[in-house]
Amino acid sequence: MSETRTSGAARAEGARMIALVGPFQSGKTSLFECLLARCGAVQRQGFVRDGATVGDASPEARAHAMSVECNIGRADYLGDRYTFVDCPGSVEFADEQRRALAVADAAIVVAESDPRKLPALQLVLRAVEEARVPHFLFLNKIDAAAGNLRESLALLQTASRTPLLLRQIPLWNNGIAVGFIDLALERAYVYREHAPSQVVAMPDGETVLEKEARYSMLERLADYDNALMEELLSDIEPPRDQIFDDLAKELRFGHVAPVFIGAAERGAGVTRLLKALRHEAPGVAATRARLGIADAGPALAHVFRSIHTPHGGKLSLARVLRGAFSDGQQVIGSSGAEEKISGVSSLLGAMTMRQPKADAGETVAFGRLDGIAAGEAVQDARAGAPQAPAPLAPTRPVYGLALSVGDRKDEMRLAAALAKLIDEDPSLVFVQDQALGEMKLLGQGEMHIRVALERLATRYGVTVATHAPAVGYKETIRHAVSVRGRHKKQSGGHGQFGDVVLEVSPRRRGEGFAFAERVHGGTVPKQYFSSVEAGCRDALARGPLGFPVVDVEAVLVDGSYHSVDSSDMAFRTAARLGMIEALGRAEPVLLEPMLAVAIFAPSEAVSRATGIVSARRGQILGFGPRPEWDGWDALDALIPEAEIGDLIVELRSATSGAGFFEARFDHLTEMVGRPAHEVVAARSAASH
């Protein structure tokens, strides 16, 4: 879109999409509600404490008093159209934030001056910075803040790699923030409850503080504007238009993150924030440039979320990046799937409002694009399939539960329902583990999985039982033995006869099973060798301890056969019987899987993280600063798979919700003593 000049500031034309992000309970949903009310999209501001918000309307959000999916609301302000996207603050639902940021024009990072929330704020800011999204920082709950704003800014700066640019300073009355001074406008305002702030005369004694703070702001802008630098060095007051131009430019280039103050629940400071969005936030043209999309070309949109509604079918939430889309238009996705748009709607919380078309910049819901998944681009079908956008790196699961249904007929219903949930939330992973005979649902934490299971029950009527996933224990042997396996059966006509002598021995860890033969004199005909090997493998499926057997070698050294009664099946059975006897005599030992785990935590919490690892029979391999993450450490450890189940729950509890880990299988190790006896006893009890 073209840029026009209004009041000295470059202002983007067209509809804009603004993401609201921030740590859990920082006040994003309150700000979302206040923005909608201030724009007139809703009659009055709803409050989270009353459960009366436009956002968080789903049963799961209401039940847990937290955002569990993006809240979306369209609003018009002074002739400009906005779509505000309130993203969940919990790290367990951070994938929603990542997908919204991918196509947002700008973000408002809602923060508090609370040292305990700094690690979580750093995670949010890193996601915004990596998406290269211009962003404002809204310092919320200023009415409850205590202390010096400069100290708060210095604290927040430790979480941001982008320089924070203070745009306002508070007016204090008996230690309570009652208003603010806008440093760009050089005007003082007092807050009014749920109404725009009122301009007042600059209070006595505030002029010196205002001049000092304003000069600091201009100094930062001058780092990117030589003309402004010369004016400051010459004590020349720069034109206001020039200041606003610089504010908009440095925001859009990502040189600074402007900081505004307010109290979202009271509606304080929100009008000034809206006006900054109007004049300084970039539009869809800048977002196209950021994503490497040409300005000219067929109509193009990016689907960032899917919603499966009970009666209206699938809705694809999309940002129109170029051109316009109409109801009934034939479109094609990046995967090549062609669909017909069945309805174009804007959203206001749970409500949808039909419209005939969507222009560039608008964020809308397209109906019935069943074959197109979130993350795909769509364009007019006549232009052919669009190039797929750069995919977001998959979010690795850190928590999971095994699922079971009462009736096997329900497994099909479960799979179909989970497919829809995963289409809505790709950070969920469904695994059918054939080796362990389990269905598992994996995700980002205990609450993430709980919400998914609640949706299974309430939306699709599928109730499942859950338990901790089984551990992939194995077993092997310690000693070599020689055994004879013999199978002889006579039942009229041809009988069955197979006779083998096997030497069975352990192999080194990770080498798997090997079979060889050293038969002399044709005591076992060559044609039966493969059957002997198959019989040996049959015995490995369940060893004497009850688990699959690994890392053994079986050598066929002797045997005998019958010219009439011997067969492939007879020799396979003989080998299986011999192998079973050998495994029982060769001192079987239990093996447990060990995972290589990388734990990332704020530096002050590393001692707690090491204690968690030690308590889980883990072995710490080393730790040090996390590269490019100030104030964070990385801890490398080996932890048994059996101890990893709720690791993320304890780790987040110890790190104010910010810690996380990555794990991968490393090796199998012998498990002895009481823990091994308990595992074997539990397996034996389960099989009876």
- The DSSP bridge partners found for residue 330 are 340
> What percent of the chain has pLDDT above 70?
98
DSSP 533-547: HHHHHHHHTS-TTSS
pLDDT at 2 over 80: no
Cβ proximity of 376 and 392 under 8 Å: no
Query: Which residue has better confidence, 561 or 491?
Result: 561
pLDDT at 271 over 60: yes
- The DSSP bridge partners found for residue 441 are 401, 430
Strands (E), 118-218: 135-139, 164-166, 168-173, 176-182, 187-192, 195-200
Mean local confidence (pLDDT), 84-89: 97
Cβ proximity of 257 and 221 under 8 Å: no
The H or E element containing residue 271 is helix 270-280
Mean local confidence (pLDDT), 347-374: 96
Cβ proximity of 91 and 398 under 8 Å: no
- pLDDT score of 10: 54
Poorest-pLDDT segment among 42-46, 226-230, 396-400, 636-640:
42-46
- pLDDT score of 503: 98
DSSP state of 538: H
- The mean of the pLDDT values for the chain is 94
Q: Three-state SS across 255-266? A: CCEEEEECEHHH
d(CA 568, CA 534): 10
- pLDDT score of 246: 96
Query: Of 82, 95, 90, whose CA–CA distance to 117 is shortest?
Result: 90
- pLDDT score of 5: 32
pLDDT at 1 over 50: no
Mean local confidence (pLDDT), 377-387: 96
- pLDDT score of 643: 96
Tokens of 421: 């949930």
Dmax (CA) for the chain in angstroms is 115
DSSP 132-149: T--EEEEE--GGG--S-H
Mean local confidence (pLDDT), 90-109: 97
d(CA 56, CA 196): 25
Cβ proximity of 515 and 536 under 8 Å: yes
Under the banding of pLDDT at 50, 70 and 90, the label for residue 147 is low
d(CA 180, CA 544): 76
SS3 530: helix
Distances (CA, A) of 494 to 343, 488, 567, 570: 73, 11, 10, 12
- pLDDT score of 650: 97
Cβ proximity of 420 and 486 under 8 Å: no
Q: What are phi and psi of 571, to 5 degrees?
A: -70, -35
For 569-602, how does the pLDDT look when each residue is reduced to its tens digit (9 = 90+)? 999 999 999 999 999 999 999 999 999 999 999 9
SS3 277: helix
d(CA 654, CA 198): 44
pTM comes to 0.92
In angstroms and rounded to an integer, the radius of gyration of the C-alpha atoms of the chain is 32
